[in-house]
Amino acid sequence: MLLGINAHFSSAQDRQLTIEDCFNPAFAVQGLKGVQWIPGSHKFSQIKGTDLVATDPYSKKDDTIVTLAKLNAAISNAAVEAEKPAPSILKSIPQITWKDEQSFSILVGGGLYVYRINNQSAVLKRSFGTNYDAIEIAKITLNVATVEKNNIRVHTAGQSRFLTDDGGNGIVYGQAVHRNEFGINGGFFWSEDGTKLAFYRMDERVVTEYPLLHIDTRPANETKLRYPMAGDSSHTVTIGVFNSFTEEVHYLKTNGPYDQYLTNITWSPDGIYIYLAWVNREQNKMELRKYNANSGELEKVIFEEKHEKYVEPEHGPIFIPSSNTDFICFSKRDGFDHLYLYQNGKLAKQLTSGNWEVTRFIGFDKSGENIYFESTKESPLERQVYALKLKDKDLKLKKVTSNAGTHFVLLNNHSGMFMDVMSSRKEPKKYTVYKYDGTVINEIYKAVNPVKDFKLGEIRVEPYLINGTALYTRTFLPPDFNAKGETKYPVVVYVYGGPHAQMITESWLAGANLWFHYMAQNGYIVFTVDNRGSAHRGLNFENVTHRQLGTLEMQDQLGALQYIKKFPYVDSTRIGVHGWSFGGFMTTSLMTRHPGTYKVGVAGGPVIDWKYYEIMYTERYMDKPQENPEGYKNNNLLNYVDQLDGRLLMIHGMDDDVVVWQHSLLYVQQAVKKMNANLDYFVYPGHKHNVLGPDRAHLYKKVSQYFFDFL
């Protein structure tokens, strides 16, 4: 039996990782901080130490924009001049937003300041206190919207006023709705000129209140969470519009079922229209709608998309520069996520096509005639960047990044440059500035290997075929690995397997973290496969699991396990499995629906019964429980508790508001009823869906020790 004990060695490349090392920032890949192109300049800003500097990509010379001490002094003086209390002293340069080449805005202590570089002074533009739950600042006018006790307050020139007064008790304003699905991550949307504000209003009063228990008081207390479970009543969302000129608020006339979805809110550049994606409760139909922002009337349905399984819009229209009518849309209508050009409300042409996906729209060049986007065209594991001329009849793609890996690009339209942030299994992180034509200007920064002094094994990334489909696998091997079969290694399978996730990429550590190397150092092979249902392989690859979450994913996991068991160095009697969230569901599924295949499992935050999970996600992939009783029954893990014959550790955060604690507690209850004593259980009080912060090292110490003890 292997012990979870690590010895330290002083010689180079002989060090052994500890659990604490795995989560120590000192051993994470370092990069540039706060990188942004400066408007109207060929330089970019970054934070170096306690200074904000401007870097020239040609000479790589840094010029100090402002020191932390001077910024603190300027902010304090600005507060005094405005007869406001000075905010607390900043300990580091915070996030800034460039207004122009000579000024940037900064949010400090409930005040919005503009720092002027030419005279090294700051001006307090808005003061709105610190009692807010959400905030959004208009880019041009610096108007500010905040949420205070579920109501919206706007701060415009010379005044501050509440737009709403009925927030609370199930009414929520200005925050993300629909449980953050459909790409939603906020609740405010300023028009481009900053004079109009669109905002979400969510009425949750018909949604069941769910209790979350807190043990830090005597006696314990609870808070209530509005949590809409699959098949139950959902919330109602509407969209308000505030006009700072007329000071009026009205609502878009989005007439329809109370539980429809309103997503991807986008302003036309002239601020006259609002575009949104309307999705029905069944999530099998989407309409891109155009509303008049002044009257709230529906102007036109630009297009609609239907699918027998589901639709899932995640991006709003991307307007062509200098046009209020022409835009680019993402769509999976041909089976892969591609770009389409619309002109005057009509489809003009499909811009990209093929058995690959556009994963990110980056932007336009200065002329607005060329677009840049990130895609999987080279490989599902990579992210390369391409340019495309919109008026090109042949729509030829020009690849502007090189070297296998994942590339993240920042465009500078003023100077025709872009910064490429690249990572691969061999390259932790590298920043290079190019001209738009691909000419290298300079390598700006190259990260050192943060774990070069540790004795680490090989990482292999390989495809294998199952039913004619290539699935990608990732294998962490122990140092001094013996492939001849003279040493038999136990295997820990790390699994996620659910929608919107891709575990394996051509990036540093192949998308994993140092815990994988830690386990390999302790004599384990750590293996992962991205099964069908996971992301970036096309719609058919992703939605094949519809109405049966868990079933086909297990087939792929079991097929991959048979693949790795064929190697002579694998101890097929000692296979473990570990995952969190959907991965916790998969871990429990594999341990109980195929008993005897895996000896040990650790399931974190697992979904156990899909009818206890949220409406938006569950009904997309499983339909309602009333519509798909067999699918829910077959993948309800409470039905398989008596089949657990290996050791299973289940872990849950007590305050989990994503996969509520009830899931794993029901599993414990059923294990007791079935007299199955193979289940072990651990709870993290005060933690939500994941165990973060200092306690994360404890979590992985617990996970690792379970494998050391029983595998």
Q: Mind listing the pLDDT tens digit for each residue in 569-608? A: 999 999 999 999 999 999 999 999 999 999 999 999 999 9
Q: 94 is in which domain, residue-wise?
A: 32-130
User: One of 250, 307, 414, 689 is an active-site residue; which one?
Assistant: 689
**Mean of the per-residue pLDDT values for the chain?**
95
Respond yes or no: is residue 581 known to be catalytic: yes
pLDDT class of 7 with cuts at 50, 70, 90: very low
N-terminal to C-terminal alpha carbon distance within the chain: 8
> Count of domains in the chain?
2
Answer whether residue 110 is part of any domain: yes
Q: Is the dihedral of CA 24, 30, 33, 36 positive or negative?
A: negative
- pLDDT tens, residue by residue, 90-139: 999 999 999 999 999 999 999 999 999 999 999 999 988 888 999 999 98
Residue that the structure tokens 């990579």 belong to: 382
pLDDT of residue 467: 74
**Domain final position from 80, 95, 130:** 130
- Whether 456 has a pLDDT exceeding 60, the answer reads yes
- Whether 297 has a pLDDT exceeding 60, the answer reads yes
Answer whether residue 14 is part of any domain: no
Helix (H) or strand (E) holding 233: none
> Burial letters for 555-574: b for 16+ Cβ neighbours within 10 Å, e otherwise?
ebbbbbbebbeeeebbbeeb
Strands 679-684 vs 647-653: parallel, antiparallel or unpaired: parallel
Mean pLDDT throughout 627-645? 97
**Domain final position from 130, 153, 183:** 130
Helix (H) or strand (E) holding 347: strand 346-350
Could you give the angle at the alpha carbon of 332 between the alpha carbons of 330 and 337, nearest 5°? 60
**Of 131, 11, 116, whose CA–CA distance to 65 is shortest?**
116
Residue that the structure tokens 């034509």 belong to: 437
HSE-CB at 242 with a 13 A cutoff on CA atoms is 26
Residue that the structure tokens 């305050």 belong to: 655
* Token reading at 542: 């992703």
Mean pLDDT throughout 322-330? 97
pLDDT of residue 227: 97
* Token reading at 271: 């601020």
Question: What distance in Å separates the CA atoms of residue 18 and residue 518, rounded to the nearest whole number?
Answer: 7
Answer whether residue 697 is part of any domain: yes
User: One of 609, 656, 663, 687 is an active-site residue; which one?
Assistant: 656
pLDDT of residue 12: 52
Mean pLDDT throughout 210-222? 93
Kindly report the CATH number assigned to the domain that includes residue 541. Answer: 3.40.50.1820
Respond yes or no: is residue 689 known to be catalytic: yes
Question: What distance in Å separates the CA atoms of residue 143 and residue 687, rounded to the nearest whole number?
Answer: 36
Helix (H) or strand (E) holding 561: helix 551-565
**CB neighbours (10 Å) of residue 462?**
12
**Of 201, 197, 187, whose CA–CA distance to 237 is shortest?**
201
DSSP 229: B
CA torsion 45-46-49-55 (nearest 10°) is -60
Three-class DSSP category at 100: strand
User: One of 423, 581, 589, 664 is an active-site residue; which one?
Assistant: 581
- Whether 619 has a pLDDT exceeding 60, the answer reads yes
Answer whether residue 203 is part of any domain: no
Answer whether residue 566 is part of any domain: yes
Answer whether residue 489 is part of any domain: yes
User: 44, 431 in Cβ contact below 8 A?
Assistant: no
- pLDDT tens, residue by residue, 179-203: 999 999 999 999 999 999 999 999 9
Mean pLDDT throughout 656-669? 98
Question: What distance in Å separates the CA atoms of residue 430 and residue 73, rounded to the nearest whole number?
Answer: 35
Answer whether residue 626 is part of any domain: yes
User: 19, 519 in Cβ contact below 8 A?
Assistant: no
**Domain final position from 111, 130, 149:** 130
pLDDT of residue 4: 33
* Token reading at 472: 């990608």
pLDDT of residue 171: 97
pTM for the model stands at 0.95
User: 338, 353 in Cβ contact below 8 A?
Assistant: yes
Q: Which residue type is seen at 298? A: L
Question: What distance in Å separates the CA atoms of residue 505 and residue 360, rounded to the nearest whole number?
Answer: 16
Mean pLDDT throughout 376-390? 97
**CB neighbours (10 Å) of residue 413?**
17
Question: Dihedrals φ, ψ of 85, to 5°?
Answer: -65, 140
- Length of the chain equals 711
pLDDT of residue 10: 37
Respond yes or no: is residue 88 known to be catalytic: no
User: 678, 648 in Cβ contact below 8 A?
Assistant: yes
- Whether 327 has a pLDDT exceeding 90, the answer reads yes
Answer whether residue 613 is part of any domain: yes
Residue that the structure tokens 């007791």 belong to: 672
Q: In what order do the strands lie in the sheet with 285-292?
A: 261-267, 273-279, 285-292, 298-306
User: 198, 189 in Cβ contact below 8 A?
Assistant: yes
Question: What distance in Å separates the CA atoms of residue 14 and residue 637, rounded to the nearest whole number?
Answer: 44
